Amino acid sequence: MSKIADELKVTYDDILTLGESNQRIELFDGEVIMSAMPSAKHQLIATELSFQLKRWSKRTKAGVVFGSPVDVVLSAHIVLQPDLAFITNDRLHINDGNKLNASPDLAVEILSESTEERDRTFKFREYARGGAKEYWLVSPEKGEVEVYQNSEKGFQHLRTFSRNEVLNAPLFPEVNINLQEVLV
């Protein structure tokens, strides 16, 4: 890419000059993506899933759960905001108190009509490249959670859990998340 094209891309430093905001702002290869605020249903799902993971994390002292928005800075031109993120204790150094400076161990996206394509393509690819161990796609409409595990080939579909099942995944083998409580 040419130097001029790089200079035209928005950077994370450019975003920081805006100051704190309730607006969700992500950078996809230097392009600013602003999303509408999540629906009430989206927030209920995020809150319940966060609650269940935080309860387990506090009990086991395995790591830290972050709700949205938290910036995940993968490069100057790629900044994502997962709906939920988890980092293990051995990677707490990626949290500088303001942002995560690498992919979290787990990134969770709750799908909506306006975000599903980006969640399944750009974010899917970038979290995998960044080294996330797992990626969960939560579909309120279908009442399911798709679990992907990272490998040498990128994220590989591990399993899809439905509303009437209990989710446990490789990163959290002892966590049993009752999806009837999450997928409201």
Q: Model confidence over 7-29: pLDDT tens digits?
A: 678 888 888 887 777 678 888 89
Q: Model confidence over 76-106: pLDDT tens digits?
A: 999 999 999 999 999 999 999 999 999 999 9
pLDDT class of 112 with cuts at 50, 70, 90: very high
Mean pLDDT across the chain: 91
- Quote the CA–CA distance of 80 and 70 in Å, as a whole number: 8
In Å, how far are 10, 75, 88, 139, 169 from 41, measured between CA atoms? Answer: 32, 31, 28, 11, 24
- Annotated domain spans of the chain: 38-182
- Quote the CA–CA distance of 147 and 22 in Å, as a whole number: 29
Beta bridge partners of 44: none
The CATH number of the structural domain formed by 38-182 is 3.90.1570.10
pTM of this structure: 0.91
CA dihedral 123, 126, 131, 133 (to 10 degrees): 20
Q: Model confidence over 41-73: pLDDT tens digits?
A: 999 999 999 999 999 999 999 999 999 889 999
